[in-house]
Structure 1
């Protein structure tokens, strides 16, 4: 493998003196590089949108989203999947992350684990990956063997595959093998080859878009409000009450009464307040629309 040919290994001519300047000048150099990232991502919104639509279709049908990566790329996947349950109320089994080297590699780098494609296959089999799931392979270089192994396995099963890399070459290994390649290069790193910097930021922004887009399209959000937030502490309980009040205009006393009745089910409480239906009627109609409040409201008004 010719490492020097990889985009992520190129040397940044704007930061060659980073070890000679003042601390403030050093930070300006790093910040100037970081500023480039969102503009580079913007050029690829069409590709990201197409991937979101494909993932949302599978997710709505009951499939899982599986992230797979090594090193920083894998940790970015873990960060995103960990936030889906508290933010959108999704069971932790619905958005899963695989990391070369396993959970231990989250806090302690295990660089050698990424060199084994068979470990990617093994981890995929370990979670019972099926053709109904979606695999998102994350690799800054676009050629990580662990990710390639997992993607090959997913392709053999006929599953939808997506790649997130910082390599825009359509013929790079993971871009060439997936259904929906997302390759975004934001230029050489401030520290040559340190892909935890701009490349990691690219991946974070794209993952934010993928998971947020899928959750919006599958009804986990009402307007721009987190109606499926898990009420795991008092702050979140108060946030949920505020969300219900914002959408329905109901008094706090009425919201608290329905929280007791529904077991603090935020979407159900909102739907009952907006329609006047009984708990049983509202629960049945919401279930029919897979918890999507606006779809359930449309069905309710259609039936009137």
Structure 2
């Protein structure tokens, strides 16, 4: 039986341990670059996944990220960055990881095979949620079982794997196969496959945020400004959109209780009540709200 691509030996791995530091690192980096380049072929499916995620959030459902091992770490990183970056409520995000969230720098391997735990975890998934299930091999028992149970509970499943024909991809509403080459360290999918997974997840969740109206001309207009860096960023965003000074932008943010979207409208001449109404009428889409403010019907 042929080995799956994620377990096969890479031809450039021969003699890796005999090379100089620079030569070894060059080969390892080339492996990462090749894995990242493979993401481009999956862009249509990544876009389809982003649409499913956006619809779930727009309908008040949740994004559920699930996996085991290093794949789960990639999923967890994407999930945990969404509230601060795009203002997605933590209540609308759930992470299900084999063995639970790590509390120490060790990922036990046996939990990846625990399908009973996957079935128990799946009880937290609700009808209409969007599950993003990630597995490099695409055959991790925990992740495959979680996806199957999620479908049975009415969730929409987005599956991301690095092996063609993987069980995880079967039956998924959106099947994302990122055809990464074998690893320079055979089977060490925290490397090339993990890099590709992180890129695919970042692309998918960012496009989701764009489609939800949380990005305006490359600026994160739904950012939660809870530290000095982000407060300064929010001021710059409002100043740029409103074409006003940073002092005026800060005052607009104060009138909007720190929320960037209404503050941008206030900086463009709206009252706080008018800004709220415009955003409500346009589904929180700032560009559409600005268009109505500048060109009322």
TM-score normalised by length of structure 1: 0.92
Q: In structure 2, how many angstroms separate the alpha carbons of the residues matched to 1:107 and 1:289?
A: 45
Is 1:293 aligned with 2:289? no
Structure 1: distance between partners of 2:281 and 2:116:
41
Which residue of the partner structure matches residue 24 of structure 1?
22
Match of 2:186, SS state, is coil
Shift of 1:129: 1.5
Shift of 1:106: 6.7
Distance in 2 of aligned mates of 1:298 and 1:62: 26
Aligned-residue offset at 1:262 = 1.9
SS at match of 1:74: helix
Residue in 1 that maps onto 2:144: 148
Deviations 1:73-111 (A, max 9, x none): 000011111111111111112232211000126732111
Q: Distance in 2 between matches of 1:137 and 1:225?
A: 28
* SS of aligned partner of 1:29: helix
Give 2:10's aligned residue. 12
Q: Give aligned pairs, total.
A: 297
1:240 and 2:234 correspond: yes
The answer (yes or no) to whether the contact 2:70–2:190 under 8 Å persists in 1 is yes
Aligned residue number for residue 125 of structure 2: 129
SS of corresponding position for 1:110: coil
Tell whether 2:179 aligns with 1:185.
yes
Q: Which deviates more, 146-155 or 197-206? A: 146-155
SS at match of 2:159: strand
Structure 2 Cα separation of the partners of residues 202 and 60 of structure 1: 27
Unmatched 5+ residue regions in structure 2?
Answer: none
SS of 1:103 mapped into structure 2: coil
The structural deviation recorded for 1:301 is 5.5
1:96/1:259 CA distance change after superposition, 3 Å: same
Q: Matched residues in 1 for 2:53 and 2:104: separation? A: 25
| Residues 1:277 and 2:273 aligned together | no
CA distance in 1, matches of 2:261, 2:104: 34
Q: Does the aligned pair in 1 maintain the 2:213–2:286 contact within 8 Å? A: yes
Matched residue, 1:139: 135
Give CA-to-partner distance per residue, 1:192-239, whole Å, 9 cap, x none: 110000010110010001110100100111110011222122121111
- In structure 2, the residue matched to 1:226 is 220
Q: Which deviations, in whole Å up to 9, do the C-alpha atoms of 1:31-61 show, x marking residues without a partner?
A: 1111212321111211111222222222211
Give yes or no for contact 2:66–2:75 (8 Å, CA) kept in 1: yes
Q: Which runs of 5+ in 1 are unaligned?
A: none
2:159 to 130, 149, 163: 163
Which range moves more in the overlay, 231-240 or 211-220? 231-240
Of residues 204, 211, 220 in structure 1, which corresponds to 2:205? 211
Q: Is the 8 A contact 1:75 1:106 kept in 2?
A: no
Partner of 2:105: 107
Distance 2:64 2:102 in 1: 18
Provide the secondary structure at the position in 2 that maps to 1:104: coil
- How many Å separate the matches in 1 of 2:290 and 2:233? 23
Q: Closer, same or farther in 2 for the Cα pair 1:296/1:121, shift >3 Å?
A: farther
8 Å CA contact 1:71, 1:105 repeated in 2: no
Q: Deviations over 1:116-152 (max 9, x none)?
A: 1221121122xx3212110111000011111111111
54-63 vs 154-163, which moves further = 54-63
